Chains A and B, each alone.
Chain A
């Protein structure tokens, strides 16, 4: 695995935005193109949840994919929905879910509903054949019949030439109803308040990313030429996974990206980026690749079935995103080049992760805290609280110290009218009574924790035999299943194993659940305090701050 980061300073020196703009809400723009772009935004949601984004700011994400319903887009949207639900909790001044993230309900797609789904139909080939035979002949020259007849509603299937033509035709910065118009307006408005970082992410070897990133990036850079305070960033994913030929229902191989062409396509793409001066257009460019591509267990050409599981390279890429949005690299040189790679091939340790040096300790601690919190929340806290707050009467009568100290005094703040009158014979008739509110909020966090752990599991295994990511001891929260791994059910979890084996290999911090819980129980908050269930959740999270 190799990560290179090259930063170039143009007219304005790059510095830490958060420091400079403390007190103001900055806007960070993130455009994820194709499946890899969606997976990147997915990873960035978890980094944001862990408080790794700069102290202030809103992360505005845009997904771009010809196949708006592909599985990775759906997974990203699901994670965003879980994030959004947690963001609604009143947690006070905390790094947990601090960043406001926005993401459109649907990915932007160049393919509109009322249009034909084939390339030929998209560019009205049949009409051209009759009225503009020269243009039609040009189409025939560049695009063989197989590609022209390919349905584009499920992505460009490793044909960036098709994607470039379609995307260049459809990205519209002038139409007020278009998503791109609103994006550019947002960037311009944000630029009035100071520097505005815009980050593009996609793969260089597939279809949509390979077509969309250079095409849209150049169009956008041109459109924003007058915006001097912009910072443009590019994260290019080089080949890091592979897949088998997909066979259609009638037994024929379908048109899809061909993994054997990825290295060649990558070399050509990088050459293209170089020749077209992308390093001059972008202030920072990150390229990431993997020497041994991971075979993806599920392969399909599009729609919901195309869900590639997470890979550790997306974690590495998201650290690049955090680095970019944090205003790095700093310094007075025109160009900086950073290279990161694993110390040993089949292993990945915390020390291999390319954190920015100035933020390394803080971000390592934040990520570990999030992992510990997610494990404890899913397997210890949520089942426990579900039992304690099974109904309103039970919650009010609870003799559990943390409930009496961090829940009951505050839960009425959310719903001051919730009282025993709402409780029926089963003690739980009202929909807004404290137990319902608490359980709802716990469900939100639990849902997010589950998605985070599922992602972490994918990152840690990365679907390659012999590969070992020593970020977290996954056997604590996962078990082997069907040739891979799955998250443990609550009943399968053993806190004894967690204490004995530890969650982080070779970490000097010894976990003690009792002391973590005692700490949470006695937690007091300064500054902007939490509210309602936020007290409990915040206390449990803050108590995991051990690293």
Chain B
């Protein structure tokens, strides 16, 4: 494997690590998670509220980790396919088709996770915004996949994803 390929994978992993960290650290005190959940539960309130909040946040984080992992795996698949499988001389449509297929995988995974997560989260409390949660799962996983693809695709796929061709490389 060439050094530049390795560096790109490391940078992409860094993106994902930052996302994981932003979502997973600080438990029930994580302001980002609390904002996404849109809950009124007070982390410094009564014991019951704190327990509900911990369960809610922990479950949210678990499902978020699953969604992000799927996104990361899809990006790695994209990386491997473009670096070693798809011919550099392949038509533009071939590259885009592969990228969009992986995007659909992420989208479907995020939808499934959201669908599975709802009853679990509802089991703890209904004081949160389910729509926000689903949007977050879908949005973050796709955003990370897209960002990593734009900035960290291998040489022959470097300009394939919009707006990579407008960015300095």
Q: Which residues of A contact B (CB under 8 A)?
A: 380, 384, 387, 398-402, 404, 495, 513-514, 517-518, 521-522
Contact = CB atoms under 8 A, between A and B. Distances in A.
A518 B156 contact: yes
Chain B interface size band reads 10 to 19
Contact of B89 (A384, A398, A404, A522): A384
Given A398-B92, A399-B95, 10 more contacts: A384-B89, A399-B159, A400-B92, A400-B156, A401-B155, A495-B87, A513-B88, A514-B88, A518-B2, A518-B88
15 contacts: A380-B89, A384-B89, A399-B95, A399-B164, A399-B165, A400-B92, A400-B156, A400-B159, A401-B88, A401-B156, A402-B88, A517-B88, A518-B156, A521-B155, A522-B155
Contact of B156 (A380, A495, A517): A517
Nearest to B83: A514
Contacts, number: 40
Contact of B160 (A399, A495, A514, A517): A399
B83 to A, nearest CB: 8
Nearest to A520: B88
A405 B81 CA distance: 22
A514 B91 CA distance: 15
Contact of B91 (A387, A404, A517): A387
B159 A404 contact: yes
7 A-B pairs with the lowest CB-CB distances in the bound complex, closest first: A399-B159, A384-B89, A399-B160, A517-B88, A401-B158, A404-B159, A401-B156
Contacts of B164: 399
Contacts of B88: 401-402, 513-514, 517-518
A398 B158 CA distance: 12
Contacts of A384: 89
A118 B164 CA distance: 73
Contacts of B95: 399
Given A387-B91, A400-B92, A521 B156 contact: yes
A387 B94 CA distance: 14
A398 B165 CA distance: 9
Nearest to B161: A399
A401 B160 CA distance: 8
A174 B115 CA distance: 98
B155 A399 contact: no
A495 B165 CA distance: 28
B92 A399 contact: yes
Interface in B50-106: 84, 87-89, 91-92, 95
Nearest to A522: B155
A271 B104 CA distance: 83
Contacts of A513: 87-88
A380 B88 CA distance: 10
A517 B83 CA distance: 12
Contacts of B92: 398-400
A38 B2 CA distance: 48
Nearest to B95: A399
Find the residue from A387, A400, A521 having the highest chain B CB count within 10 A.
A400
B99 to A, nearest CB: 11
Contacts of B158: 401, 404
A513 B92 CA distance: 18
Contacts of A518: 2, 88, 155-156
A380 B156 CA distance: 15
A401 B92 CA distance: 11
Interface string B145-169: 0000000000111111000110000
Find the residue from B2, B89, B159, B160 having the highest chain A CB count within 10 A.
B89
A495 B164 CA distance: 29
A399 B156 CA distance: 9
A30 B163 CA distance: 56
B165 A404 contact: yes
Contacts of A514: 84, 87-88, 156
Contacts of A402: 88
B111 to A, nearest CB: 29
Find the residue from A401, A521, A522 having the highest chain B CB count within 10 A.
A401
A387 B87 CA distance: 15
Contacts of B2: 518
Contacts of B160: 399
Nearest to A521: B155
Contacts of A521: 155-156
B3 to A, nearest CB: 12
A513 B89 CA distance: 10
Contacts of A517: 88-89, 156
Nearest to B162: A399
A402 B88 CA distance: 10
A513 B87 CA distance: 9
A402 B87 CA distance: 13
Contacts of A522: 155
B135 to A, nearest CB: 29
Contacts of B84: 514
A495 B156 CA distance: 18
A399 B90 CA distance: 11
A380 B2 CA distance: 24
Nearest to A397: B165
A380 B89 CA distance: 8
B1 to A, nearest CB: 12
Nearest to B85: A514
A486 to B, nearest CB: 24
Contacts of B155: 401, 518, 521-522
A523 to B, nearest CB: 12
B159 A401 contact: yes
Contacts of A404: 158-159, 165
Nearest to B5: A518
Contacts of B89: 380, 384, 517
A118 to B, nearest CB: 58
A468 to B, nearest CB: 32
Nearest to A388: B92
Nearest to A387: B91
A522 B84 CA distance: 17
Nearest to A396: B165
Nearest to A408: B165
Nearest to A495: B87
A384 B95 CA distance: 15
Nearest to A518: B155
A286 to B, nearest CB: 43
A499 B159 CA distance: 27
Nearest to B153: A401
A387 B158 CA distance: 19
